[in-house]
Structure formats: structure tokens, C-alpha cells
Amino acid sequence: MEALENVLGVKFDNLDAFDEASRSWTDSEKAYLANCHDQRFQANNSLWKELDILKEKHKKVQMTLNDVIPPLREYIESFNQQLTDFTSDLGFIRNKSSELKSLLEYNSTKLANVSPLVNDLMLSPSVINDIVHGKVNEPWLDGIAYLKDKQQIYAKYLNSDEIAVPKDFDRLCEVLEYLKAMILEKSRRFVVHQIKLLRSHQPIPSQQIQKKLIEVKEIFQFIVENDHSLALELRQAYAYSMRWYYKAYFARYIRSLTILQFKSIDSQYALGNGLSNTSINRSTTFGISNYLTASYGRSAGTITDESIQEYFQVDKRISLLTQEDNTVMVSQIAENNTMQNYIEIGYKNLNLAILDNCRVELEFVKTFFQLSANEEESLGLVEQIFQNTFNEALEYTRQLIQHTYDLFGVLINIRVTQQLQLESEKHHLTVMKDYLDTQLMILWPKLQQLVDFQCESLRKVPITTSIAKLYGSQEDPLTTPHELTVQFSRFLTSLLKLATTHEKQVDERSEPLYNSIIRIRNDFETVMTKCSKKSKSPERMLATNYMYLYNAIQHMHIHEPDSEPLPLIVKETEDHCKALVEAFSKVT
């Protein structure tokens, strides 16, 4: 109606009267009013449309006022109330926060000097439990490190008068002492238990025990620092047990080596034996030297001439000195080995095993007993451990060579010993020096005895002009070498090869072998001179034989590099033979 008033420009004061009056209108009036609403009779129809729109909006506004505004008003009032409550709570929290901050600042100020003290003196229950109930292994060592740190901290408080300590500080110190005593006791029991395993009925390799001890090597250092006398007792107990262990172990190993089948080299393997003129009366021609035992002089059986000739060639045996594989023969293989071996096989395996174990033991002693800085003490301990083993090995050497006539085997053993000396020097095993020197003192005299035996055998060779049975040779002693010359060339070249198997430069003249070669060479020349007197032309026969010997020596080193100088004994022997050939060739 407000819109209508605006459109008609009429103010309806009494709408109710108007409505009442409208009811009494005539039909013509009503028709007129209805026509007024007909768009065909309207001058501006848009106004009616606007009127309808306004009426619709009016309804929506009324609905909003009646249905939406009241709940919204209630929600806003409730939210306002909650906001008021929250504001009040926030104020309370702000006050409490300020109060707690002040209290925290107060506590921080009061505990600033107390916290370091608590952290320093506090003992961790978990660490204590591990120390007391834990198994001795690598993680258990953390307890030792923890205890050492606490001992240093406690010592700082004990030695300072400026730092105030709590009333129960003495009890904490007692707990620390109990922990130290517990670690000492458990460490002692662990070491003693490992040492006892060496003597158990079920043999355990010492390497396994040493590995376990090395894994916890800090325990012995802790024992040294806190109970030096106990450390010395444990070290001595270990030395005694290992001395027994190695003596028993090598005693079994030596028994295994004695089971090896060694090739019997008796008095029949002598220069001049195995030749055509001595094969019939071999046993009577070559007697036994008075310094060799008679039991070994009796031949176990008939030896073929081929075996004797093969013995004087040592090319295959020399490989023992040059092979890179130095693996020790285990006792099981030695006991079941059915092959025939020479004496150097047992000798090298035994002494190489001693050297290897000695090196391992020295390394363990230095590492576990903390003796790296004290070389003399560590070597003394290793020597104490191996002294009985050394004695057993020396006795084995004496028995090994006591009855043998194997000159080459004894000489190879000497070279093996010299190689082991160089190896021990490389690893600073001076403890092996006296032992290996004693081995040489046993071997060198035996070698001299065997050289004397071969010289004696040479001097007993029958004086004949028997020639060697060489392929294509003529039956003429003046153009074909003597059969003794062929045999002696093998013997001499073998000696020269063994005389030059040094790992480093040495004074060859200082070795007994140098003079021995010269001596046995002179005896051979004496025999050949006597044999030549039975020929038609002694000088020509001697020239032929010495030429054969000279060629054999030259052939011995023909494949060696030219840059390497010839060893002294080889050069002198070669020059000597060459001079003899030239001298007798001029005479003929």
C-alpha cells in the first residue's frame, strides 16, 4: 500500500474504512478497478512489476525478521557470553603463567650450581647393573670407560676445597670402589678361565683363546693400573700355561714328523760308489767313519746304482728353498703321508711352525699385556714360553741327523735355518736368534763329518781308467771322461748350487762349506791324477776330464742373468777348472 500511495500520490489515512467501503462498491466500480490492473490499460506496466517485486521482497524481509533474526540474536548473545568467560579464563592463565615463570626463574637461579654437581656425582643404575651382572665382552668394556671417567671426576671433588659436596659423598665413593673391585674380580676370573682352557681335557687352539683376550684387552690394562701385582701374576700364569701348551703341542707334532717315511741315506751313497768298478764290493770298499754311528752304517738293503747317481743331483730338492708356499704340514698329514721324504722336509716344517707360532705369540704379548713399548720384556716373556719347545726341537734335530749320511740334506737344513734367521730379523724376533744359532752349531759339524766321509770315500776309489757310458762316446779314456768325473760333476754342481742359495750377501769364505768344497775338489784331483798315470797320455786324459767338469759348472749357471755376478765359490771353482784345462791342453 505504501508503494501504491507513492504511485498515486494519495495518502490513505484509513485503510480499514477504505477496505470496508470497497466492499460496497458496485459491479461497475469493481470492473473499473479490475481493468486498472489489466496491463492492456496501463500506461507504464513496469511499475506493476516493480510493485510485485517489492511485495516479494517484503515477504522475505518479514520472514527473516520472524524466523532468522531471533535465533541469530540468541547465538550472538550466547557467543558474547562465552567470549566473556574465555576472556576471564585467559586472564587467569596469564596470571598463572607469570607466576610459574617467576618460580622457574627462581628455581633456575637456585639450581644453577647444583645441577653440575648432580650430573658429576650421579652413578647410572643401568651401568652398575651391567658391570655386576653383565658378561665380559666388548660391550662390557663400556663400564670400564664409565668408571674411569667417574674416578677422574670424583678425584677433582676430593682434591678441591672450594667445591661443596653432598653429605653422602663418602658413600658414593664407596660405591665407586665397589665397582672397581667388581671389575677387577670379573676381569681376573675371565683371564684365569681362558688360561685354564689351555689345560682342559678338550684341546682348544690357543688362537681362539688369544682372540677372545684381544677382544677385551682393555681389562688387563685396567688391572695393571689398579693392581700391578695381580697383573704380574696373571701374566706369569699365562706364560707358564703357554710354555706347557707349546711343549705338549710340539711334542705331538714332533712325534707326527717322526712317523714320516724318510729316505734312508746310508754309507752306500758315497762318491765312487755306484760305479762299474765298485758295484761288486760296495759294502766292503766304503767303510764307516769312526765319528759316525755304526747302526746307520749297516745298509737296510741293496741300493741300486741309479739311486746313488740320482742322489747326487739335488735340483728337485733345492725347490724347498725357493718355493713361495711356506705352509706348515699339519700333524694329520704327516702321520698319513706315505711318500718318501728327505730329512729337510721334517726339519723345515718343524722350525717354520716354531717361527710362525713365535711371531704370533710375540704379537699377542705386545698387544694384550701392553708391552709394545718394552721390547726387551716382551721378548723375554716369549723366550720363557718357548724355551722348552726350543729344547725339544734341538733334540729332534740331533736325532734327525745323528745316523744320516745325507750331506745335501744337512746342507739344505743349514740354508733353511739361514732363511729363517732372515725372516726372524724381518719380524724383530730376536728371541729366535740363539735358538737358530744353536741349530747351526749342530748342523755345521755334522756337515763337516759328512764332507770328511766323502773325502775318505774318494781316496778309496780304485785307481782305474774306467770311462763313463755316455751316449755317442768312444771307448777311449783319452776322449771320454772318467765315470768318477761324471759322478763328481753332479756332486760338485749340487754343492755349488746349495752354496749360493743365500738371501743376502755374505762372506762366503767365512762359511765352512767354502773350504770343504776346495778340500773335496783337491781330493778328486788327486784321484784323477793317479788314474791318469795308468793311461797312455795322462795330460790328455786330465784335460778331457777337467773340460767335462768345467762344462758342467758353466752349464749350471748358463741361464742366470748376465747382470748378476757369479758367487765367489762358483767363480773360483770355474776359473780353477779352466786353468787346469788350459794347463794340460798346452802340455798335450
Per-residue pLDDT of 144-175, as tens digits, reads 998 888 888 877 777 666 666 667 778 888 88
Give the burial string for 367-394 (b: 16+ CB within 10 Å, else e). Answer: bbbbbeeeeeebbebbbebbebbbebbe
Per-residue pLDDT of 213-230, as tens digits, reads 999 999 999 999 999 999
Per-residue pLDDT of 121-148, as tens digits, reads 778 888 889 999 999 999 999 999 988 8
The cell for 183 is: 671389575
Does 520 have pLDDT greater than 50? Answer: yes
Helices (H) then strands (E): counts for the chain? 25, 2
Alpha helix positions (H), 403-430: 407-426
One DSSP character per residue, 462-530 reads ----PBP--TT--S-TTTS-BHHHHHHHHHHHHHHHHHT--SS---GGGSHHHHHHHHHHHHHHHHHHH
Instruction: Name the DSSP class of 298.
Output: S
Q: Which residue has the cell 765359490?
A: 569
Does 532 have pLDDT greater than 60? Answer: yes
Q: Structure pTM?
A: 0.75
The answer to whether 271 and 461 have CB atoms below 8 angstroms apart is yes
- Better-scored residue on pLDDT, 345 or 328: 345
One DSSP character per residue, 12-75 reads -S-HHHHHHHHHT--HHHHHHHHHHH-GGG-S-THHHHHHHHHHHHHHHHHHIIIIIHHHHHHH
CA distance 162 to 165: 9
Per-residue pLDDT of 431-489, as tens digits, reads 899 999 999 999 999 999 999 999 999 999 988 877 766 544 556 677 788 899 999 99
- Better-scored residue on pLDDT, 157 or 304: 304
